[in-house]
Structure 1
Amino acid sequence: MAGLNVSIAFFFLVFGVCQALRQLSKRLLSPGAYSCLARELAGSLQLCMSCLELRMLMEIGLWGGGFGPDVVLTLLFLLFAVHGASFDGASANPTISVQEFLLLESSLAATAAKLLAQGAGMVMGWALTKLYWSWELTHFHFIQNLIASECSSSIHTALYHAAFVEGTCAFFFHLVLLKLCQSHLMYQVPALAATVTFLTYTAGPFTGAFFNPALATATTFHCSGSTFWDYIQVYWLGPLTGMLAALILHQGNIPRFFQKNLLYRQKSKYKIPKARVAAHVEGDERRQKREGEKSNSEPCA
């Protein structure tokens, strides 16, 4: 359990550093620069480093440390709960940023800045985690360094099935996110953490269940066994397609491109009682009758 304790200490260290980075940048930068750049950079850095260490535990710790998958899944739930509570509105996920753009919640320039910050955060997270592993503080890290140069692809099924799996995971994740977007953080955070945990448990053996293009790019694109185009189809096109399907199902349209609702009829927010409607129609008929009689009584010019 000593190796697991070191990993838990690493999670706390990553959270503390990224939280300090958020607080410092919030004081030094303008609100726009903070929300589009610093916040996304810190969130992506925190997500990437935590997920890389957790992925290492998932691959090596199950047989090298003797603990079961329940430990890893519990850590996954707790990590995403901490991420949701500490990200301060950052998404650290390109599909969420594109979704905000399609919902008219973010401009093109802001979306592009977020994507760049997410990419930079993921690259920094990968480099810093590799440096941390090189210190070989535990036997897990020693084994990880031995197999790092020979890592294999996370795609363990047919290509079309892998893209479908990633798209389905993204679909359910974004559907839950859209349903809970107006909910209190106290309900939103555990619900999203439970969704991520369930999807990872279900789809992990097939694709790793990333449904986050930036995270997948930093984690598995350099591994052999699949081509670059295979990775793009599975880890970029799959999640983006799932996000679009969830958005259309929830909204009935894509607000950025057209306003007409394709799936749902627009209903009036307020219902008028039938008796009031009948009285209103009857009053209109009486008024029109009086006006007609008045016009008939007037002499012709």
Structure 2
Amino acid sequence: MNNIIVGMGEALWDVLPEGKKIGGAPANFAYHVSQFGFDSRVVSAVGNDKLGDEILQVFDGKQLKYQLPKVNYPTGTVQVALDNQGVPCYDIKENVAWDNIPFTDELKRLALSTRAVCFGSLAQRNEVSRTTINRFLDTMPDMEGQLKIFDINLRQGFYTKEIIRESCRRCNVLKINDEELVVISRLFGYPGIDLQDKCWILLAKYNLKMLILTCGTNGSYVFTPGVISYQETPKVPVADTVGAGDSFTATFTASLLKGKSIPEAHKLAVEVSAYVCTQSGAMPVLPETLKERL
């Protein structure tokens, strides 16, 4: 069985107060998955420009594999400002390379060899990339233990009810935070019930294997039909939270594919995410003590 794990969507530069850092949830996800010894890929697009070349250089330096065709749009950038708690606020530039990911024969071959994929709503704001992501998901062959993870990742106004509905239909794991769950509940007209009930509704409505709910400092939950796993959020000195959620998703995915139980996968995901919060930037090297847990 092929065990390739794909992070698909935006590849960009986060322009932080102290300078630019490589960003985008798919790259963060694929990087952390690769730290656990999996064959991972970043799927996106870059511009035929200096910023695009620099993204490829960074990925090469991190020995991160990718399918990043060059397209006739500028490489994506995001202006990131951190608030007093180190929480990022984003200004995401539009009509950039990752809005225009082409569906190629090479990408079709990758889809046929993919065991797990993580995708979000942001990269679907443009029809070109949205179509490519959906074709990729539809091309993946059904196999035992396959994971199609929709890490919803709402940003600014770059989502619609239809995009979210279609993505929920195509995924079998939904990852969402407490604030996003409130937005989704308003969008879909769910009654004013508590967060857990909303999670059960989504799990049943879309026939999901799992729903992951993260609640910041208030812990996180994994809902599966009939069972809940809960983990407290460790208290750590926070450098910034950029990429922490992606490291959680990557660790959880890698753990499940290594045969760990949901509570074991959940616990390690929380610990890795907490460690990433203590480091600056989204792609720190994980300590051996965490990597050895798998």
**TM-score bracket for the superposition, by shorter chain length:** under 0.3
Kindly indicate whether structure 1 or structure 2 has the higher relative contact order, using CA contacts under 8 Å at least 6 residues apart.
1
Larger Rg: 1
- Give the TM-score taking structure 1 as reference length: 0.26
